[in-house]
């Protein structure tokens, strides 16, 4: 049924291609990012907008359940008109649970499955069980700066910033949490707690990767010294950390410039990909919205890895299709929001959305989620974070379907350049 609907709404005609570069496999950013027009192309297979749901409060993250039958959305409850600056409202965030219907659309199951959260953001699904957490457990980034009280005033007391990873099951039962704030092993290792715990992903062994965007620490008195980068938490350490015990294998921190945001492990090459969002907050980002690829060896040696693309704006969400095609969400406010696509070994193009063209109605696409199908259409859920208004229950989540030939179109486009 979903494939039929896509065929009805989209001709799936090629609408553009990547600009050919003399060598697509060049190892350095300077070699690959030679001119602004390299990002002028569009992906050859458009996506179809299936649904726009207006039921959320600054939805920032989305994740599919392990079986793909449900979607969980984190409502970050940005302060909007309560505050002049950007900040989440303390204790106002929540998690929504939705069902995936046969036609690809979503229906609400429980709008406030878990509530009373501060800044619930990115999520990931544990693929390998521990003694404490079954496979399929959802881990959530929450408790971060910047945040405000219910009157819109910035919170100054550093003791109220309790960043953490919260683990829950499909029914919304909280199974445990890992403290990443003051006094945690993360502060002991890095000299600072995780200030903006933003996004996470797992590899096939169950190791967890989480970003600290390191924004908002200056609101406190005294301020936190945020350190932007990527944390790797070994699978064997998850239970010990949740029990408040020093793990045998400690987390490893790798500094990454430009305020890292999204993180995901590629199903194609097993590398850990991280993007940067610094331009959203007016901060220095040498890549101006870049994507870094890190191997496990890089992380073990605390090396930043390879910058594979840049000049993409302010990047938030990052995920992959079944064949390893990478999607990034551009959220910088002074340029149009959009989803960019990196086929393997190629620079980014823009995802075309039908109906509507390349930009559609995206106002702040954030931590998107892909339901990976090896055959047939793949669903993408796009939370739209940045809505600064006084009505918290009408912000949008957009559901799109990638056509069955989406991944193979990358291979055809690569062949046309050779």
Mean pLDDT of the chain: 87
Task: Please state whether beta strands 47-56 and 106-117 pair in parallel, antiparallel, or not at all (unpaired).
Answer: unpaired
pLDDT for position 155: 95
Domain count, the chain: 1
Residue 29 has pLDDT above 50, yes or no: no
Could you give the CA distance from residue 111 to residue 215 in angstroms, rounded to a whole number?
A: 28
| pLDDT tens digits along 84-103 | 778 999 999 999 999 999 99
Task: Assign 356 a pLDDT band (cuts: 50, 70, 90).
Answer: low
Alpha carbon dihedral 352, 353, 356, 359, in 10-degree steps, equals -60
How many percent of the chain have pLDDT more than 90?
A: 71
pLDDT for position 361: 56
Q: Which domain holds residue 29?
A: 2-417
Could you give the CA distance from residue 288 to residue 146 in angstroms, rounded to a whole number?
A: 22
8 A C-beta contact, residue 329 and residue 294: no
- Long-range (24+ apart) CB contacts under 8 A made by 291-294 are 291/315, 291/318, 291/326, 291/328, 291/342, 291/348, 292/256, 292/260, 294/230, 294/254
How many percent of the chain have pLDDT more than 70?
A: 87
SS3 64: strand
| pLDDT tens digits along 116-140 | 999 999 999 999 999 999 999 999 9
CATH number, domain at 72?
A: 2.120.10.30
pLDDT for position 23: 30
Task: Assign 42 a pLDDT band (cuts: 50, 70, 90).
Answer: confident
Could you give the CA distance from residue 51 to residue 37 in angstroms, rounded to a whole number?
A: 32
**Phi-psi region at 60: left, alpha or beta (left = phi > 0; alpha = psi -120 to 50):** alpha
pLDDT for position 119: 97
SS3 362: coil
Distances (CA, A) of 417 to 17, 23, 131, 340, 413: 10, 10, 49, 19, 7
Of residues 86 and 57, more confidence is placed in 57
pLDDT for position 375: 81
pLDDT for position 373: 86
Residue 393 has pLDDT above 90, yes or no: no
SS3 94: strand
Residue 387 has pLDDT above 80, yes or no: no
Distances (CA, A) of 23 to 31, 43, 259, 289, 413: 9, 19, 29, 22, 14
SS3 139: strand
8 A C-beta contact, residue 364 and residue 385: yes
Residue 354 has pLDDT above 80, yes or no: yes
Task: Assign 298 a pLDDT band (cuts: 50, 70, 90).
Answer: very high
pLDDT for position 362: 67
Residue 153 has pLDDT above 90, yes or no: yes
Cα four-point dihedral sign 74, 201, 410, 28: positive
Report the Cα 55 to chain-centroid distance in Å: 20
> Which pTM does this prediction carry?
0.90
Could you give the CA distance from residue 125 to residue 208 in angstroms, rounded to a whole number?
A: 10
- 322-334: average pLDDT: 91
Buried b / exposed e along 84-122 (16+ C-beta atoms within 10 A):
eebbbbbebbbbbbbebeeebbbeeeebebbbebbbbbb
- 224-249: average pLDDT: 96
8 A C-beta contact, residue 317 and residue 326: no
Closest CA to 318 of 394, 219, 218, 209: 209
Task: Assign 10 a pLDDT band (cuts: 50, 70, 90).
Answer: very low
Residue 410 has pLDDT above 80, yes or no: yes
8 A C-beta contact, residue 52 and residue 25: no
Encode 144-187 in three state secondary structure.
CCCEECCCCCECCCHHHCCCEEEEECCCCCEEEEEECCCCCHHH
| pLDDT tens digits along 162-209 | 999 999 999 999 999 999 999 999 999 999 999 999 999 999 999 999
Residue 219 has pLDDT above 60, yes or no: yes
């Amino acid at each position: 049924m979903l494939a039929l609907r896509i065929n009805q709404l989209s001709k799936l005609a090629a609408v553009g291609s990547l600009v050919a570069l003399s060598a697509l496999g060049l190892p350095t950013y300077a070699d690959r990012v030679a001119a602004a027009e390299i990002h002028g192309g569009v992906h050859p297979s458009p996506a179809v907008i299936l649904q726009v749901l207006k039921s959320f409060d600054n939805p920032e993250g989305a994740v599919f359940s392990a079986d793909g039958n449900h979607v969980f959305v984190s409502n970050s409850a940005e302060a909007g008109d309560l505050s002049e600056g950007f900040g989440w409202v303390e204790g106002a965030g929540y998690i929504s649970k939705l069902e995936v219907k046969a036609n690809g659309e979503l229906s609400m199951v429980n709008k406030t499955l878990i509530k009373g959260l501060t800044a619930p953001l990115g999520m990931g699904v544990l693929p390998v069980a521990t003694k404490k957490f079954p496979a399929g457990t959802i881990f959530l980034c929450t408790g971060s700066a910047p945040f405000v009280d219910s009157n819109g005033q910035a919170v100054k007391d550093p003791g109220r910033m309790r960043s953490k990873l919260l683990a829950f099951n499909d029914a919304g039962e909280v199974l445990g949490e890992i403290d990443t704030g003051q006094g945690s092993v993360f502060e002991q290792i890095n000299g600072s707690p995780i200030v903006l715990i933003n996004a996470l992903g797992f590899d096939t062994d169950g190791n967890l990767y989480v970003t600290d965007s390191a924004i908002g620490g200056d609101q406190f008195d005294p301020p936190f010294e945020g350190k932007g980068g990527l944390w790797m938490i070994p699978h064997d350490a998850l239970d010990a950390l949740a029990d408040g015990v020093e793990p045998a294998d400690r987390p490893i921190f790798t500094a990454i410039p430009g305020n890292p945001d999204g993180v995901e492990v590629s199903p194609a090459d097993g590398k850990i990909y991280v993007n940067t969002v610094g331009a959203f907050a007016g901060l220095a980002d040498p890549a101006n919205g870049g994507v870094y690829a890190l191997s496990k060896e890089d992380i073990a040696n605390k090396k930043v890895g390879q910058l594979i693309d840049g000049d993409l704006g302010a990047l938030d969400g990052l995920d992959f299709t079944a064949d390893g095609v990478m999607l990034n969400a551009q959220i910088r406010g002074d340029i149009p929001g959009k989803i960019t696509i990196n086929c393997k070994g190629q620079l980014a193009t823009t995802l075309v959305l039908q109906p509507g063209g390349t930009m559609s109605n995206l106002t702040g696409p954030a931590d998107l989620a892909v339901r990976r199908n090896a055959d047939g259409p793949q669903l993408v859920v796009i939370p739209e974070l940045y809505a600064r208004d006084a009505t918290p229950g009408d912000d949008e989540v957009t559901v799109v379907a990638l056509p069955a030939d989406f991944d193979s179109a990358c291979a055809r486009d690569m062949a046309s350049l050779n």
